[in-house]
Amino acid sequence: MRTDSAEPIRLKDYRTPDYLIDKVELDVKLHPTATRVVSRLSLRPNPNGRASAALVLDGDGLVAIRAALDGVELDVQNLDPAIGLVTPDQLTITAPPRRPFELEVETKIDPSANTRLMGLYRSGAAYCTQCEAEGFRRITYFLDRPDVLSVYTVRLEAERAEAPLLLSNGNKIAEGAIEGTTRHYALWRDPFPKPSYLFALVGGDLGSVHDEFITRSGRKVALGIHVEHGKEPLAGYAMDALKRSMGWDETAFGREYDLDIFNIVAVSDFNMGAMENKGLNIFNDKYVLASPSTATDTDYANIEAVIAHEYFHNWTGNRITCRDWFQLCLKEGLTVFRDHEFSSDMRSRPVHRIADVRALRAQQFPEDAGPLAHNVRPDAYLEINNFYTATIYEKGAEIIRALKVLIGDEAFRRGMDLYFERYDGTAATIEDFVSCFAESAQRDLTQFSLWYNQAGTPLVDVAAAYDAAAKTFTLDFAQSCKPTPGQDAKQPFVIPIEIGLVGEDGGDLPLTTSDRDGASAAELSRGVIELTTPRRRIVFSNIPSRPVPSLLRGFSAPVRLDYAASESDLIRLISHDRDSFNRWQAAQTYATRLLLRSVGLIRAGGEPIRDERFSVALRRVIENGADPAFAAQIVSMPSEADTAREIGQDVDPDAIHAAHEALRRAIGQDLKDILSATYARLAENAPYSPDAAAAGRRALRNVALDLLAAGDRIEGERLALRQFETADTMTNKIAALNVLAHTPGDAREAALDAFYRVHASEALVIDKWFALQAMIPEPGALHRVRSLMAHPAFSIANPNRVRSLIGAFAAGNQTQFNAADGGGYDFVTGIVVELDRKNPQVAARLLSAFKSWRTLEPARRRLAEAALRRVAEAGGLSPDVRDIAGRSLA
Ligand code: B3K
Ligand code: ZN
C-alpha cells in the first residue's frame, strides 16, 4: 500500500522520465497464492532526461525474489547502497549505465489476498488484472507512469485445469503444453507501444462466445467475449454492441481496429465499470451480461455505451495516451464524448441528450458546487484514483461538445483527424489536443482552454426586453462563476449559447440584429451566440411581437442558466419549441419552480401548491403523440436531489420529499384518464426487443404507472401487482416492484420475497433488489439496509454489492441518508472506515456521497460534519479516504 506523505503531486512539477523502457518481457507463472513474475526490461537513458539520475522504479507492496542488472545478480535482500535499494515500494539503481541495459526482476505475489482489486487479483476462480492508474506496480517494479511506452511480450503459465484460458494484450503467437506436467502456457505479443496501465492478463476457466469483424480495409478481427460458464447466452447483446461500435468508429471518426484479436472478459469483482486494456478489455459483468428477464432497458443502453466507450479508447487513450494523469480528461472526456455520439446515433438523439444532461446535472454539478470541485484538468492530486470523477468524464465530454458547437462540425472533424495523425503513438496533453482545433478552425482557443483550468459551473443570467414600438427584442447576457477551492476569482469563459426566438405561432423568427449591439453573421446564421465577456447585449430587430427566447438549445454549454421566463412562456416552449431539449427543459423549469415554491410553503407550515396549467401542458404533449421515449422524459419530474441542488443552501430533504410527492400526486390525479389510457395502449404486444423505440414505449408506460400510483395508491398498487405478476421482462418487473416498494404493507414484503425467490441465483438482479430497498424513503430504510447486510447474498468484498446496497442508500435515499438524527451519516461513515481496510477505492467513492453536506440546513450540516470528522480522525486510513475526507472538510 502506498503510504506516501500527504504532499500533493503537481502538474507544474512534471518532468520527462530519465529512463525509457523500450521492451518488456513478462513471464508469469500463475498460482493462487504465490504467483511468480519475472520481468525483463530493456531500458535506456532518455536523451531528454537528466544525465546521471538514479533509476527509480515504482513498486507497491512487492516481494522481490531476485534481480539482475545486465545479467549480473544483485543481492536484493541486502543491496549495497552504492548499487541501489530494493524495498516493497521501490527499486532503485543508483548509477545505471549510460547506454541501453537490461534489468531482470522476479517478484512473488498473492492474488488471492488482493482485496483492493488493483494489480493481479482473483475474481471467483479466475485471475485478472486492473492496472489503471497505478496497479502495475503491484505486479512488478516499473516506471509506472503513462508517458513510458513499451512493447510487451507476455508468457503466461498455469495449471491447465485451473486456467485453460490464458489471455493478454495483443496477438497470441504461441501456446502449448509443458511436457511432463499438467501445466500449459500461452505467449502474447502486443506490437503497439503502450504505458503500463494498459497491461492486462486473464487466466481462468471461462465460457467463450466468438464472432468476427471485417474492418473497412478488409482485415479480419477475431472477437471473443469470455464469461462465467453458463452465462454465454447473456453475452449476445454485448457482442452485437461491440461490432456496431467497431463499424461506427470507422465511419464517424475514420478509426479502424489494429490487432487481429479483440477480447472482452467479464468478471464479477471489479472496482468500476470496465477497463480498456489494449486488445483485452476487462469488464464488470454488469456491463456485459443481459437477457430480457434479467436486464432492464437501461442496463441494455448502459452495456451498449460501456462496450463502445472501452472500444473507442483503442484510439483515444491507447494509440494516443496521456502524458501524465493530470491529462486524464484527454482520454476520458473525449471517449465519453465519442460514446455519447455513438449512443445518439444508435438511439434517439434528443432523448439521449436529455438523459446525458440529467446525468451531468445529477453527478457533476454538485461536485462543481461543493468541496470536491476540481478542474477538468486538475493541477494537483493526492490520490489519482479519486479523480475518476464526473468532472473529468462528463464535464470533460461537455467541453468537447461545446467546442464542436463553437467551431462547427467540419472544423471539428478536421481537428480530430489532425489529432489522430499528429499524436498517434504518443503520450499527449490537453494543449496538444486543443492546438489541433485552433489550427483546423483557424482560431485562437486560449480563452476557450479556461474550461480545462477553472473549476465551477458558470452561471449565465439572461434578461429580456421587448420594445413594441421599435420592434426590437433585447437580450442581456451576464456570466459569472462562484469561487471553488483554491480559485477565488474566475476569468470569463467562452460560452456558446444556441438560441432561437419562438414567435406566437410557435415557429422560430428569423434572427437579425441592429448595427449597434448586433451579432455576427456567423452567429446569426447558426443561431449560436458566443459569450466571451462578463456581459453582452444583443438587440434583435424586426420582431413583430414579443417572442419567447429559447436559450441554450441542446444544452450547448455546461452552464446554469437563469432566465425569468413567465409560466406562459414556458408553456409555449413545452408545446412548440423546435429544439426538443428545450421543450423538455421548459417542463423541468416549470416543475422546479412549483417544487421550490412548495418547499417554501411546506417549511412555513403550509400546503404545497397545485397548478393545473402545468398538468394541461403535459397532457398536450402526450395527446399530440410525442415519441413515447421523449414523452416519458417530459413527464418524469426532476429528482429530489435536483431540487436540493436548485435550492443550494439550508436544504431540508424532508420538505423536498413532501413537495415532490405532492407534485407527482397532483399530476397523477389531473392526468388520470390519459395516463390510464396510455398505460393500457402501450401494453406489451410483441416479443422483447431492447431497441430504443420499444424501450421508449416501456419507459412511458412505466412512468404512467408511477404517476397513476402517486395519484391513487390503491389503484396504483392494483396495477403494479398485476404487472409484477405477469411481467416477463425485467424492465416491467422492476418498475412494478418499485411502485409496490413505495407502499408500506404486506403486499410490498410479499413481492420483495417473491422477487428474491425467483432471482436468488442471479447476482446482478439481486443488486437491483438491494438498491430498490435501500432507496425506500421511509424511516425504516436504515434498519432494512442494516439487516440486508447480514443477508447471505450480501458481501462487503464485492464492489457491486456494496454499491447496490450502501451506495444506493447514500446517494439515492435523500431523506434517510440525511435523516435528522444523523443515523444515516454514522452508518455510511462507519462502513467507509471498515471497507477502507479492504478496498480503499470503493470506500473513498462511497464517502464522496457527502459532497453536498455544506448545503444542508444547520442541524444536519453539524451531524454530517461530525461524521466526516470521525472518518478524518480514524487511524490507518488509506490515502484515498484520507484525501476525500480532508477535502470534504477543508
Ligand atoms: N479507464 C478506466 C477507469 C480506470 C479507473 C481506475 N481507478 C475505465 C474507463 O474510463 O474506460
Ligand atoms: Zn474511459
Q: Which of 117, 275, 339 to mutate to test the pocket of ligand 1 (most atoms within 8 A of CB)?
A: 275
Residues 9-27: b if buried by 16+ CB within 10 A, e if exposed: bebeeeeebbbbbeebbbb
pTM higher than the cut 0.95: yes
159-184 pLDDT, tens digit per residue, is 999 999 999 999 999 999 999 999 99
- Average the pLDDT over 666-683 and give the result: 98
Residues 288-315: b if buried by 16+ CB within 10 A, e if exposed: bbbbbebbbbebbbbbbbbbbbbbbbbb
Domain-embedded: residue 625: no
735-747 pLDDT, tens digit per residue, is 999 999 999 999 9
Same domain, 441 and 473: no
Q: Which of 117, 130, 132 to mutate to test the pocket of ligand 1 (most atoms within 8 A of CB)?
A: 132
Pairing of strands 9-10, 55-58: unpaired
Q: Which residues, 6+ apart, have CB-to-CB distance to 429 below 8 Å?
A: 322, 323, 327, 330
Instruction: Decide if pLDDT at 185 tops 70.
Output: yes
706 pocket-lining for ligand 1 (C-beta < 6 Å): no
Cα angle vertex 527, ends 521, 532, to 5°?
80
Yes or no: say if 179 and 206 are a contact pair by the CB < 8 Å rule.
Answer: no
310 pocket-lining for ligand 1 (C-beta < 6 Å): yes
141 pocket-lining for ligand 1 (C-beta < 6 Å): no
577 pocket-lining for ligand 1 (C-beta < 6 Å): no
Active site (annotated) includes residue 310: yes
Same domain, 200 and 345: no
Q: The CATH number of the domain where 853 resides is what?
A: 1.25.50.10
Domain-embedded: residue 272: no
107 pocket-lining for ligand 1 (C-beta < 6 Å): no
Percent of the chain with pLDDT over 90: 99
Q: Ligand 1 centre from 481 Cα, in Å? A: 29
- Which pLDDT score, from 0 to 100, does residue 4 have? 46
Q: The CATH number of the domain where 529 resides is what?
A: 2.60.40.1840
Instruction: Decide if pLDDT at 1 tops 60.
Output: no
85-132 pLDDT, tens digit per residue, is 999 999 999 999 999 999 999 999 999 999 999 999 999 999 999 999
134 pocket-lining for ligand 1 (C-beta < 6 Å): no
- How far apart, in whole angstroms, are the C-alpha atoms of residue 706 and residue 175? 56
Average confidence score pLDDT of the chain:
98
Q: Ligand 1 centre from 274 Cα, in Å? A: 7
Same domain, 40 and 188: yes
> Residue 713 burial (CB < 10 Å; 0-12/13-18/19+)?
middle
Same domain, 435 and 466: no
- How far apart, in whole angstroms, are the C-alpha atoms of residue 255 and residue 249? 5
3-class secondary structure, 722: helix
Q: The CATH number of the domain where 341 resides is what?
A: 1.10.390.10
Q: Ligand 1 centre from 275 Cα, in Å? A: 5
Long-range contacts of 824-829 (CB under 8 A, 24+ apart): 824/782, 825/850, 825/863, 825/864, 825/866, 825/867, 826/867, 827/782, 827/785, 827/786, 828/867, 829/867, 829/868, 829/870, 829/871
- How far apart, in whole angstroms, are the C-alpha atoms of residue 634 and residue 190? 48
- Average the pLDDT over 602-629 and give the result: 97
Same domain, 417 and 434: yes
List Cα–Cα distances, 270 to 34, 783, 834, 869, in angstroms.
22, 27, 19, 29
Q: Quick count: other Cβ atoms within 10 Å of Cβ 391?
A: 27
Among protein residues, the one whose CA lies closest to atom 5 of ligand 1: 132
- Which pLDDT score, from 0 to 100, does residue 514 have? 87
- Average the pLDDT over 737-758 and give the result: 97
Q: Which of 205, 230, 264 is the last residue of a domain?
A: 205
What phi and psi, each to the nearest 5 degrees, are found at residue 101? -150, 170
Domain-embedded: residue 258: no
- How far apart, in whole angstroms, are the C-alpha atoms of residue 787 and residue 97? 61
Q: Which of 276, 303, 312 to mutate to test the pocket of ligand 1 (most atoms within 8 A of CB)?
A: 276
Q: Which of 453, 477, 507 is the last residue of a domain?
A: 453
Q: Ligand 2 centre from 304 Cα, in Å? A: 14
Atom of ligand 1 at shortest distance to CA of 313? 11
Same domain, 402 and 547: no
307 pocket-lining for ligand 1 (C-beta < 6 Å): no
Instruction: Decide if pLDDT at 3 tops 60.
Output: no
Yes or no: say if 243 and 213 are a contact pair by the CB < 8 Å rule.
Answer: yes
Confidence class for position 305, pLDDT limits 50, 70, 90: very high
Nearest ligand, CA 130: 1
- Average the pLDDT over 610-616 and give the result: 97
Q: Ligand 1 centre from 149 Cα, in Å? A: 18
Yes or no: say if 720 and 704 are a contact pair by the CB < 8 Å rule.
Answer: no
- How far apart, in whole angstroms, are the C-alpha atoms of residue 652 and residue 660? 13
Residue of 134, 310, 341, 498 marked catalytic? 310
737 pocket-lining for ligand 1 (C-beta < 6 Å): no
Nearest ligand, CA 334: 2
All 3 cell numbers of residue 361? 446535472
- Which pLDDT score, from 0 to 100, does residue 685 have? 85
Q: Which residues, 6+ apart, have CB-to-CB distance to 354 below 8 Å?
A: 580, 581, 584, 630, 633
All 3 cell numbers of residue 710? 402517486
Domain-embedded: residue 866: yes
Same domain, 11 and 110: yes
Yes or no: say if 626 and 574 are a contact pair by the CB < 8 Å rule.
Answer: no
All 3 cell numbers of residue 83? 548499487
Percent of the chain with pLDDT over 70: 99
Nearest ligand, CA 842: 1
Among protein residues, the one whose CA lies closest to atom 2 of ligand 1: 275
Q: Ligand 2 centre from 245 Cα, in Å? A: 15
Q: Quick count: other Cβ atoms within 10 Å of Cβ 81?
A: 8
Same domain, 70 and 13: yes
3-class secondary structure, 105: strand
Domain-embedded: residue 630: no
Q: Ligand 2 centre from 735 Cα, in Å? A: 30
3-class secondary structure, 714: helix
Q: Ligand 1 centre from 197 Cα, in Å? A: 10
Among protein residues, the one whose CA lies closest to atom 7 of ligand 1: 385
- Average the pLDDT over 791-807 and give the result: 98
- How far apart, in whole angstroms, are the C-alpha atoms of residue 371 and residue 480? 19
Q: Ligand 2 centre from 385 Cα, in Å? A: 13
309 pocket-lining for ligand 1 (C-beta < 6 Å): yes
Cis peptide before 441 (omega within 30 of 0): no
- How far apart, in whole angstroms, are the C-alpha atoms of residue 431 and residue 278? 25
Yes or no: say if 405 and 424 are a contact pair by the CB < 8 Å rule.
Answer: no
- Which pLDDT score, from 0 to 100, does residue 5 have? 55
197 pocket-lining for ligand 1 (C-beta < 6 Å): no
Residue with cell 466526516: 868
Bridge partners, residue 561, by sequence: 460
262 pocket-lining for ligand 1 (C-beta < 6 Å): no
514-524 pLDDT, tens digit per residue, is 888 999 999 99
Q: The CATH number of the domain where 58 resides is what?
A: 2.60.40.1730
Instruction: Decide if pLDDT at 2 tops 70.
Output: no
Nearest ligand, CA 840: 1
- Which pLDDT score, from 0 to 100, does residue 515 have? 85
- Average the pLDDT over 311-334 and give the result: 99
Same domain, 806 and 785: yes
Domain-embedded: residue 529: yes
Q: Which of 504, 533, 562 is the last residue of a domain?
A: 562
Instruction: Decide if pLDDT at 469 tops 70.
Output: yes
CA neighbor of 562 nearest in space, from 553, 578, 551, 574:
551
Same domain, 432 and 480: no
58-92 pLDDT, tens digit per residue, is 999 999 999 999 999 999 999 999 999 999 999 99
Q: Which amino acid is at 803?
A: R
116 pocket-lining for ligand 1 (C-beta < 6 Å): no
Q: How many structural domains comprise the chain? A: 4
Same domain, 343 and 485: no
> Residue 474 burial (CB < 10 Å; 0-12/13-18/19+)?
middle
Among protein residues, the one whose CA lies closest to atom 8 of ligand 1: 275
> What domain range is 190 assigned to?
1-205
Instruction: Decide if pLDDT at 683 tops 50.
Output: yes
Domain-embedded: residue 283: no
Atom of ligand 1 at shortest distance to CA of 310? 11
- Which pLDDT score, from 0 to 100, does residue 202 have? 99
275 pocket-lining for ligand 1 (C-beta < 6 Å): yes
Domain-embedded: residue 830: yes
Nearest ligand, CA 333: 2
Q: How many residues does the chain have?
A: 890
Same domain, 94 and 190: yes
DSSP conformation class of 651: B
Q: Write a three-state SS string for 15-59.
A: CCCCEEEEEEEEEEECCCCCEEEEEEEEEEECCCCCCCCCEEEEC
